[in-house]
Structure 1
Amino acid sequence: MNTTLFAVRLGLARGWTEFRHTLTSKADLGSYLLNSMVFLAVLLFMSGNDMENTALAGTGVSQATLSMPGTLAVLLVFGGVLSTAQLLATDREDGTLLRAKATPKGTHGYLVGKVVSVSLMSLMSMLVLLVPSVLLIDGLEFTPAGGLTLLWVVGLGLLATLPLGAIAGSLFPNPRAVVGVLVLVLMALIIVSGIFFPISMLPGWVSWVAQAFPVYWLGLGLRSSMLPDAALVEEVGGSWRHLETAGALGAWAALGLLVAPFVLRRMARRESGTSLEERRRKALQRVG
């Protein structure tokens, strides 16, 4: 049997097993779903607020409806980038990645497994927020076209963010460094990408910088799937720009899928029992 195909099959099985294990662990499940529950409570609190004194006044778009796509985008970005990077750095520190390296195509299988498990948990955290919101928040409705748009935007969004998380996890020495740096970077991108407020409120050069990253396009794509066309008054060019969204997310996905395996293999080649023992020694010193 082809070793690469065998590694992919093992990775799929590994990812499903890790997902099932997460579902049985209260601590792991809580860490994934807590943010969804908090966001849901905030959206329900805002559900009665109208968009007065804005360009959306009188359109029937409430503050909760406008914030919903951005909230889903945040969950997907943090799940795809931060969770992947943190899990990879943790597995690198405790020797899991070193053991995977010892088997033929083990690094490939490991990466496939992480993609599967993180994708499933990210989708679950989004559904925990999305389903109650559709039922409880007035004005949040889906058309068949909007549902299809949501599916392809989320799919491309995962493909665009998961490789970035793998690259970040390969570059940072430990999970603490991953969290400390990535949270700041992701929050900065979320702020300038118009996730929670119109990007037109920002200086022109900031909006151009934001459009170079996938966070902006993910937010735009999710807004196009859930908001009425009346909300276009706050968008760049007055259009949902589906072709540009697919192209930008697809380009980031292609770039990440090309670079991530190379970075991961290079990092795995540097892994050894000596380097693992040195990291454990430093970790024990920090604890002590």
Structure 2
Amino acid sequence: MTSPSTRPAPHQPSTLAIGLRRGGVEIRQILRQKDTLIFTFTFPVIIMLTFGAVFNREIPGTGVDFRQYFMAGMIATGVMAAAFITLGVGIAIERDDGTLKRLRGTPMRASSYFIGKFVMVFALCLGQVVLLLGVATLFLGLSLPETGARWLTFAWVMALGVLACTVLGIAISAVPRSGRSAAGVVVLPFMVLQFVSGVFFVFTQMPAGVQQVGALFPLKWMGQGLRSAFLPDVLQRVEAAGSWDHGTTALVLGAWVVGGTLVSLLTFRWYRQAV
């Protein structure tokens, strides 16, 4: 008979397994938050339809509908809203209401918690992209990527973009002093980035200083990468480098993924620290 002292320790699920299970919980929770879902899904759709009605014209000298250019930016900003805002505000609230404190008392590791958030964000972004593409094609008459290579570009830009915005959302959640102030802290930089990243305007038509600031952040590169999937190659000449510059896009987005992950691990706290 095995004595209590010699019994094998119970098997502990892996970090990935815990994270995936947490991801399922996160998805069920977000589906119950009707106000969050409505904002996340309707905001980019309303902007796309509004701008689509106003800017029904060609980009001068290209013969390309500006709305085709604009669609890539709206998908990029929709992904950022689903990841950056949802996590930046949501984690701050969970820290305040005791959710993180309760999770800390379980086998949940910070890395597993991050994986769970990524699973939830990926599901949100997938649903949002399908919705935006449907609206763009059915109501605005825009075109989808025409070749397998362009769909592959779309896929890797989306994957890096979702990862980058997810870790940045986790990182910025440490900034608000309370859940009540989180929305103001998180939404402001998101709104600024939309205007400096070429979402609403052709990027190279903005002042040089604004372009330099926008090029520091992932939203600009997400938009440029997605434009390379949706637009004909003639539009390369309106990009800052005169080309789609896929190498730099991958490098910058990858750097934000690595940097954002490190910052998230260093700044993440289960409890609100006393001021």
Bucket of the pairwise TM-score, normalised by the shorter protein: 0.7 to 0.9
CA drift at 1:151:
0.5
- Residue 51 of structure 1 aligns with which residue? 58
Distance 1:216 1:119 in 2: 20
Distance 1:25 1:96, change over 3 A: closer
Aligned-residue RMSD, C-alpha: 2.4
One-letter identity of the residue aligned with 2:68:
T
* Counterpart pick for 1:231 among 231, 235, 244: 235
Aligned partner of residue 237 in structure 1, secondary structure:
coil
SS of residue in 2 equivalent to 1:197: coil
Cα gap change, 1:26/1:215 in structure 2, threshold over 3 Å: closer, same or farther? closer
The offset of 1:24, in angstroms, is 5.2
- Percent identical across equivalent pairs? 31
Q: Quick check: 1:97–1:107 contact (8 Å CA) kept in 2?
A: no
6 and 78 in structure 1: CA distance in 2 versus 1, 3 angstrom threshold = same
Q: Which residue does the alignment assign to 1:32?
A: 40
Query: Cα–Cα, structure 1 residues 6 and 32, in superposed 2: closer, same or farther, change >3 Å?
Result: same
**Consecutive aligned runs of 4 or more in structure 1 exceeding 4 Å deviation:** none
Partners of 2:37 and 2:209 in 1: how far apart? 40
Contact 2:40 2:78 in 1 (8 A): no
Matched, 1:151 2:159: no
Alpha-carbon distance in structure 2 between the residues aligned to 1:119 and 1:139: 24
Q: Is the 8 A contact 2:45 2:135 kept in 1?
A: no
Q: CA deviation at 1:136?
A: 4.1
Please tell me the residue identity of whatever aligns with 1:17: V
d(CA) in 1 for partners of 2:87 and 2:30?
A: 14
Q: Residue 131 of structure 1 corresponds to which residue in structure 2?
A: 134
Equivalent position of 2:5 in the other structure: none
Which of 257, 260, 284 is matched with 2:264 structurally? 260
**Does residue 118 in structure 1 map to residue 126 in structure 2?**
no
**What TM-score, normalized by structure 2, do the two folds share?**
0.86
1:171 aligns to what SS in structure 2? Answer: coil
Aligned residues: 265
Matching residue's letter, 2:40 = Y
Aligned position for 1:86: 89
| Structure 1: distance between partners of 2:144 and 2:113 | 39
1:66 equivalent in alignment to 2:62: no
Residue of structure 1 aligned with 2:78, choices 72, 75, 79? 75
- The Cα shift of 1:200 comes to 1.8
Partner of 1:201: 205
Aligned-partner residue type, residue 162 of structure 2? L
Structure 1 residues 126-135 or 184-193, which shifts more? 126-135
C-alpha contact (below 8 Å) 1:46/1:64 kept by paired residues:
no
- Among 1, 18, 22, the alignment partner of 1:10 is 18
Deviation at 1:225, TM superposition (A): 0.9
Gaps of 5+ in 1: 279-288
